[in-house]
Structure 1
Amino acid sequence: MSRVALIWRAAFASTGWFGLALQYWLLTATGHSLADIPARTLNYFSYFTILTNLLVALILTLPVVAPASRAGRWALQPSVRARATMYLVVVGLGYHLLLSASSTLQGLAAFGNIIVHYVMPVAILLDWLLFTPRGGLRWTDPFRWLRYPLIYFAWTVIHGYAAGWWPYWFLNLPQLGPVRSALAVAALLIALLIAGFAFVAIDRTLTRRDRTPAPA
């Protein structure tokens, strides 16, 4: 890993963890009783945005603090970095297109929101483009990358009905009904699949460019 990549990953790993800690503090410790903390903590870990930012913070941190460890080698795998990048880029785009217009956040809440929805998606995308080795992705990978969102959707349904709380309006089954909810989930999965294929195409295009000999 180059010195530039090391500094980049250390800087944005720190930024990612700060953003996550700030979001947790805002959700659990401001204006709520101590008795609410367990339920709010569970809600915190039920946001796709939070879980995906956690994944990205990990794959930025592990190569810096333990590059030779099993976890560090896992975090450096091109497929792992590509899927995490794709997830968070979709999170950022989804937030901007579906949720940002109705946002009324101010102050620290707005600052934390910018970190997890804008700063970190751009940071990990640039990390993937600039520092991740090419040629490690296959056209079948995007189908395997759907396992994480499918597990998340299943958890959202279980937790939503158990707690009466839903993280996003477009996943609120009681409010939308089964048909509209199924269509929303299908649309999200299709968007993730398209994004996954786009990442594979970019990887292969950049690989061919890197392998093309310069003219004499």
Structure 2
Amino acid sequence: MDWSRAALIWRGVFAVVGWASVGLYYGLTISGLTPAETATRTLHFFSFFTIQTNLLVAVALTLPLIGVRTRPGRWASSEGVRAGVTMYAVVVGLVYHFLLHATWNPQGLYQVANIGLHYVMPVAILIDWLVFTPNGRLRWIDAGKWLAFPLIYSGWLLLLGAVSGWYPYWFIDVAELGLGRTLLNLCGLLAFFGVVGLTVVAIDRTLGRRDRTAASA
């Protein structure tokens, strides 16, 4: 089987799905709004971790198609980037399913976009990482490096909430929970990111040892 061709097809299909899911959700979000309302809703839309992560996933799937030998293509194809993006996407799917799913019941096209963002794309990038990304090159410290994105994001949410009073998720709503409880929730979420990151590294190293054993057999 031509794995390089299979990878291109897989990434092409799900790059389209990823961009389409974000675009559909955004279009539905701003439909019928005034320009002022659109500006506010756009800021809110792109402040969701789900949206930012799905944009990263779409970029990670698209750039290798444009040119794996270009600097952006090499960046997106690197094992650390693909594993980190996979980790973020897996967390999106798990947090949505176990913490947020019960609080929202989208219908129609909203449901189509919701399934794409929270289920299809996390699974797609996970399979991409497991099947098409070289294994055995990650280090344990990479799990710590991947925490930079959620840390910066958490700071942005606290700043945005302090200025506007709007929070995208109930478990970081300072107005409702208080700063202490919110910070505790954020620490717990960061710890969860760390655990998932360490799991990703462990899987990578296990698959790498398996591949080296198979190659030497």
TM range (shorter): over 0.9
Partners of 2:45 and 2:51 within 8 A in 1: yes
What one-letter code is carried by the residue in structure 2 that aligns with 1:125? L
Q: Return the offset for 1:215.
A: 9.1
Q: Return the offset for 1:91.
A: 0.5
Partners of 2:50 and 2:92 within 8 A in 1: yes
Quote the residue 2:33 is aligned against: 32
Range with greater deviation from structure 2 (98-107 or 123-132):
98-107
Pick the aligned partner of 1:23 from 22, 25, 38.
25
What one-letter code is carried by the residue in structure 2 that aligns with 1:127? D
In 2, the alpha carbon distance for the partners of 1:214 and 1:60 equals 28
- The share of aligned pairs that are identical, in percent, is 53
Quote the residue 2:57 is aligned against: 56
Q: How many residues are aligned here?
A: 215
Quote the residue 1:109 is aligned against: 110
In 2, the alpha carbon distance for the partners of 1:34 and 1:141 equals 42
Q: Return the offset for 1:168.
A: 0.5
Where does structure 2 lack aligned partners over 5 or more consecutive residues?
Answer: none
Cα distance change on mapping 1:214 and 1:137 into 2, 3 Å: closer
The alignment's C-alpha RMSD in Å is: 1.3
How do 1:1-216 residues align onto structure 2 when only pairs under 5 Å count?
2-29=4-31, 31-213=32-214
What one-letter code is carried by the residue in structure 2 that aligns with 1:13? A
What one-letter code is carried by the residue in structure 2 that aligns with 1:11? V
What one-letter code is carried by the residue in structure 1 that aligns with 2:14? F
Q: What is the TM-score with the length of structure 1 in the denominator?
A: 0.96
SS of residue in 2 equivalent to 1:140? helix
Deviations 1:112-133 (A, max 9, x none): 0000000000000000000001
SS of residue in 2 equivalent to 1:137? coil
Partners of 2:165 and 2:175 within 8 A in 1: no
- Runs (4 or more) in structure 1 with deviation over 6 Å come to none
SS of residue in 2 equivalent to 1:32? coil
Q: Return the offset for 1:214.
A: 7.1
Q: Return the offset for 1:141.
A: 0.8
In 2, the alpha carbon distance for the partners of 1:35 and 1:45 equals 16
Where does structure 1 lack aligned partners over 5 or more consecutive residues?
Answer: none
